[in-house]
Amino acid sequence: MQRATHISVYNTLTRRKEDFSPVEPGRVKMYTCGPTVYRYAHIGNLRSYLMADWLRRLLEAQGYRVKHVKNITDVGHMRQDMVERGEDKVIAAALAEGRTPEQIAAHYTEAFMADEAKLNILPAHEFPRATTNVPEMVDLTRTLVDRGYAYAVGGNVYFEVGRFSEYGKLSRQQSAGLEEGVRVEADPLKRDQRDFALWKAAEQGRMLKWPSPWGDGFPGWHIECSAMAAKYLGPEIDLHTGGVDNVFPHHEDEIAQSEAAFGRRHVRYWMHGQHLLVDGLKMAKSTGNTYEIGDLEKRGFEPLAFRYLCATASYRARLNFTMRSLRAAQKGLLRLREKLSADGGRATKKGTKEGERLRGEFWRAVADDLSLPRALAVAWRVARSRLPGAVKRELLMDFDRVLGLELVAPRPSASAILVEAEAIAHERSELRRRKAYTEADSIRERIRGMGYEVRDAKGKTALVPVPVWAKAEASISSSGDVDSHLSEPDSVGFTIGVVARRGCEELERCLTSLLQWAGGVTAELVVIDNGLEEACAGRLDGLAAKDARVRVFHADHFLGSAAGLNVVLKQARGRYVVTLDTSVEVEGDIFTPLRELLEDSRVGIAGRWGVTSEDLRSFEEAEDSGDVDAVEGYLTAFRRDLVNETGLLDEKYRFYRHLDLDFSLAARTLGYRLVINTGLPVVRHEHLEWAATPEEERDRLSKRNFYRFLRKWGERSDLLVVQAR
Ligand code: AMP
Ligand code: ZN
């Protein structure tokens, strides 16, 4: 059905919202940068593909014939700097998993298709794979050399950025910013460091390589998209989508290559989706804050709840993902469907007229640069209206062509799990018949774990769904979910805070020792389950039930170290706060000596372990009691009121390293002393979080925190006092 709604889109190239009109009337050529298939897609990636899907569905609903191409990067440099360094993620994954690059790519391509299908993302018309289009990339590279835009050196071919005068027109950027202190080493073969590789010579023994006029090698990442877009859509395309991190350098370089090679405009409208965040940081494998669709399903969510959640924000706005918002989305979706199925009544003339008005409003919202939150609000107005049920259903069916939420006829959700649960329930009935009740009961637990409650009535067994997400209501998704008592008066002597991520025994050793030695003071113990395993979380609840001093907060994922501690700080009601790492065991009264130190109002933070430094770059363990330059986070104590002066911790510190130094320096800027007492009766055991983190990961996370710390404090050696003593 052709509709007269005109479509406007925000074009990254012009930084404006523009009326959409394709090169060829009625037809749209659309290209979406697809996945690199060496790992499962996370829901941040999928947010980008959802944006493209909504765009395509809108165009099709408006009567356009769309050809949609989404490439599969199965040569594994996900970013151009990896090409430059010769790194290949697919090869690395193959080596790590003991499979061939082809097997790796095939496995993750299939998983990607399945994820897209779960989210009702329409399959692209073409999914060209990089490895089957290498001759085209070689041809394009040769054209660029022939036309004087590229040069070959040492088996590599580089695009010469200085030759393309419009370079930078998309991103308004010429080179990468110096991010997080990471510097890429200068490549001596390049004429200009802005130049980028179109082709790289293969090193000895490389698994994935192809012949070329410059010798065996492999293509760059950007050239892949230029070559495949041209091959499957022609030299000029209407729409190109990706995530904002693709703008530079990927799409900037793609424009340079394609326009230099074909001598005409490459893309009419560039559209970029904003990032999905977790705890305020971009969801990314390297940050360790990713979720996959399977992670949501495990918690009993429908994948479409995530689709609904994404529709509640503009694609141009960042969206912070939390389990709490996903729960709200899941409920919203279920309620919307419920409303539609409950309604009866036939179409009436008046109803039809009102319906048409709402229909117009809906499509105008979607066509206005995909304003889905507005469109969703119209859908809700229809569902809540007094319109006859038949009219409502027809309207929502129409809206669902673009929303894709299965509003009217949802497929049976989680059916595979249900089938399995039923099979297990059958097994249980058999056991009960044989009076093997203990085993039957353990099966009931298993079924509960799958999200179903077993009900036995009148000799029959029924399964009643109990979605996991509904049970998880009480847990927190961020430190923002708890109230702050910081401005309220003290109600106990000490708040003892412990944040735990792994290691149940270690945690229990720490807590038991604390409770044993906290007898002489009034204390509360605030424990944060920062993503512990299920069984361990249960044991904590048991402890809280037995001891009134203990309060437990369960986070529904790892919030990050700083955020976990902030929950403690906000919830604390003690005059003094003592925080401990779970590797610490208490062997005597630590509270009296800590209080004595803190009774001196010039002391800001007290502890057992500390460091000194001369330059804030290297730190030395302090050996004696007395002043230090920073108190280490294994054990810190301070007046709760200090937090009102320093403010809460910086939650960008997801890993614990340097977080304690940051806090110490914040206290130093206020003029406080930092003091340790090496005679405190405590011991430190192996640090599990450290031990459980692979070395490479440790380095990366430590470095990240270190640079964050350095940017903030690097020039403040004036705060260091100990060396001057
Ligand atoms: P990759 O497989 O890493 O090349 O990413 C595939 C797509 O996901 C690209 O278009 C990225 O821009 C996009 N992307 C990556 N991380 C996020 C995120 N956190 N939120 C939204 N899109 C993302
Ligand atoms: Zn691309």
Q: Are 118 and 144 in contact (CB under 8 A)?
A: no
C-alpha 104/C-alpha 92 separation (Å) is 10
C-alpha 508/C-alpha 42 separation (Å) is 34
Q: Are 424 and 381 in contact (CB under 8 A)?
A: no
CA of 475 to the centre of ligand 2 (A): 39
Domain tally for the chain?
Answer: 3
78 in contact with ligand 1, CB cutoff 6 A: yes
What integer pLDDT is reported at residue 338 of this predicted model? 85
| Ligand 1 nearest atom to the CA of residue 47, by list position | 21
Q: Helix crossing, 43-61 with 389-403: angle to 10°? A: 120
Tell me: do 428 and 567 sit in the same domain.
Answer: no
Q: Is residue 650 domain-resident? A: yes
Mean pLDDT of 331-342: 86
pLDDT at 78 over 60: no
Q: Is residue 689 domain-resident? A: no
Share of the chain above pLDDT 70, in %: 93
Q: Is residue 390 domain-resident? A: yes
Mean pLDDT of 248-277: 97
Q: Is residue 23 domain-resident? A: no
Return the structure tokens found at 150. Answer: 């590229």
C-alpha 650/C-alpha 281 separation (Å) is 12
C-alpha 493/C-alpha 465 separation (Å) is 46
Tell me: do 572 and 652 sit in the same domain.
Answer: yes
CA of 691 to the centre of ligand 1 (A): 31
Q: Are 299 and 329 in contact (CB under 8 A)?
A: no
What integer pLDDT is reported at residue 97 of this predicted model? 81
Q: Are 318 and 275 in contact (CB under 8 A)?
A: yes
User: Quick check: bond before 249 cis, omega within 30?
Assistant: yes
Residue-wise pLDDT tens digits, 274-330: 999 998 889 998 888 899 999 999 888 999 999 999 999 999 999 999 888 999 999
Q: Is residue 645 domain-resident? A: yes
Starting at the edge strand that comes first in sequence, how are the strands of the sheet with 156-159 ordered? 150-153, 156-159, 196-201, 217-219
Tell me: do 564 and 663 sit in the same domain.
Answer: yes
pLDDT at 343 over 70: no
What integer pLDDT is reported at residue 180 of this predicted model? 39
Residue nearest to atom 15 of ligand 1 (CA): 45
686 vs 573, more confident:
573
Q: Of 667, 683, 699, which residue sits at a domain end?
A: 683
pTM: 0.79
C-alpha 514/C-alpha 578 separation (Å) is 11
What integer pLDDT is reported at residue 2 of this predicted model? 44
| Ligand 1 nearest atom to the CA of residue 35, by list position | 2
| Ligand 1 nearest atom to the CA of residue 36, by list position | 2
pLDDT at 415 over 60: no
Q: In the 8-state DSSP scheme, what is residue 286?
A: G
Mean pLDDT of 599-606: 97
Tell me: do 542 and 566 sit in the same domain.
Answer: yes
Task: Write the burial class of residue 215 (CB in 10 Å: 0-12 exposed, 13-18 middle, 19+ buried).
Answer: middle
Tell me: do 516 and 647 sit in the same domain.
Answer: yes
Q: Of 379, 403, 427, which residue sits at a domain end?
A: 403
Tell me: do 316 and 456 sit in the same domain.
Answer: no
Question: CATH code at 518?
Answer: 3.90.550.10
Starting at the edge strand that comes first in sequence, how are the strands of the sheet with 319-321 ordered? 281-282, 276-278, 319-321
Q: Is residue 424 domain-resident? A: yes
Find the range with the poorest average confidence among 8-17, 146-155, 206-215, 361-370. Answer: 206-215
Tell me: do 673 and 609 sit in the same domain.
Answer: yes
Range of the domain at 298: 281-403
- Report residue 659 CA to chain centroid gap: 21
Q: Is residue 196 domain-resident? A: no
Tell me: do 435 and 530 sit in the same domain.
Answer: no
C-alpha 682/C-alpha 591 separation (Å) is 11
pLDDT at 515 over 90: yes
Q: Is residue 431 domain-resident? A: yes
Tell me: do 531 and 633 sit in the same domain.
Answer: yes
pLDDT at 206 over 70: yes
275 in contact with ligand 1, CB cutoff 6 A: yes
76 in contact with ligand 1, CB cutoff 6 A: no
Tell me: do 458 and 490 sit in the same domain.
Answer: no
435 vs 7, more confident:
7
Q: Helix crossing, 252-262 with 134-146: angle to 10°? A: 70
158 vs 411, more confident:
158
What integer pLDDT is reported at residue 1 of this predicted model? 45
Report the sign of the C-alpha dihedral through residues 569, 573, 579, 582, in that order: negative
Q: Are 625 and 673 in contact (CB under 8 A)?
A: no
Tell me: do 394 and 423 sit in the same domain.
Answer: no
pLDDT at 414 over 60: no
The ligand that comes nearest to the alpha carbon of residue 224 is 2
70 in contact with ligand 1, CB cutoff 6 A: no
User: Quick check: bond before 681 cis, omega within 30?
Assistant: no
The distance in angstroms from the start CA to the end CA of the chain is 82
Residue nearest to atom 8 of ligand 1 (CA): 45
Return the structure tokens found at 124. Answer: 């692209």
- Report residue 490 CA to chain centroid gap: 37
pLDDT at 422 over 50: yes
Instruction: Give residue 724's pLDDT band: very low, low, confident or very high (50, 70, 90).
Output: very low
C-alpha 701/C-alpha 715 separation (Å) is 22
The ligand that comes nearest to the alpha carbon of residue 267 is 2
| Ligand 1 pocket: which of 245, 287, 290 to mutate (most atoms within 8 A of CB) | 245
Tell me: do 360 and 319 sit in the same domain.
Answer: yes
